[in-house]
Amino acid sequence: MFHKILVALDDSDSSQQVFAEAVALAKATNASLMLLRVLSPFEGDYPGSVYPAIDGIYPGLHHETVQIYMNQWHRFEQEALEALRSLSCKAIEAGVPAEFTQNLGDPGRIICEIAHTWNADLIMVGRRGRAGLSEFFLGSVSNYVLHHAPCSVLTIQGLTQATRSDKPLQPDVAIAR
């Protein structure tokens, strides 16, 4: 069965569901968890970019702007790391061995790389249900992982526009081998 489960998390509401499912599966199979957060500029809480600087014009203002951005970035990074630490403690309290890591980059690629280097048996990732132009421009992390993962992938369907309205949440689960 599964011994090492990589759990890809972000700042979405569906990540709580992915985490809960991962802990339940890890308990049932006596597996350990690796909680992963990939910081990406496409996340909602990612600090905005600084304006492009023009050499020689207001260098002091440019320095202050860069410093503000760096402070925002550091705060963002620390909050995400603390969230991972908290989830790791919850898993351990539930009797599931857990560790965590945080990386910067393209989420799909990083998830697959970590799964490979950590020798994961399973990757659990949420799916937001993007389609059409949204998926075209923003991409689909779960789709990338399904096609490039070195192991099995379990996708947990998050809340879609249709499920947010009046229907109770019924997670759709897909496993790819």
- pTM, entire model: 0.78
Is 60 within the bounds of a domain? Answer: no
Q: What is the domain-level CATH number for residue 21?
A: 3.40.50.620
Q: Is 107 exposed, middle or buried (0-12, 13-18, 19+ CB in 10 A)?
A: buried
User: Considering the domain boundaries, does residue 116 fall inside one?
Assistant: yes
26-41 tens-digit pLDDT:
999 999 999 999 998 7
Is the confidence at residue 164, as pLDDT, over 50?
no
The confidence score (pLDDT) of residue 68 equals 86
Q: For the chain, what is the domain count? A: 1
Work out the average pLDDT over 138-159: 86
Residue that the structure tokens 């990939």 belong to: 38
Residue 135 lies in a domain: yes
pLDDT score for 14 = 85
Q: Which helix (H) or strand (E) segment is 39 a member of? A: strand 32-39
Q: With respect to residue 159, please indicate whether it lies within any of the assigned structural domains.
A: yes
Residue 25 lies in a domain: yes
Q: Which of 117, 108, 125 is nearest to 173 (CA)?
A: 125
* Res. 94 pLDDT band, cuts 50 70 90: very high
Domain that holds residue 16: 4-43+83-176
- Please give the residue that has the higher pLDDT: either 12 or 81: 81
Q: Name the E strands within the chain.
A: 4-9, 32-39, 98-104, 122-127, 152-157, 173-176
Mean pLDDT of all residues belonging to the chain: 82
Q: Is residue 64 part of a domain?
A: no
What is the spatial distance between Cα 50 and Cα 67, in angstroms, rounded to a whole number? 10
Asked if the structure places residue 143 within a domain, the reply is yes
Distance CA 150, CA 137 (A): 25
Residue 134: pLDDT band with limits 50, 70, 90? very low
Q: Would residue 18 count as lying in a domain?
A: yes
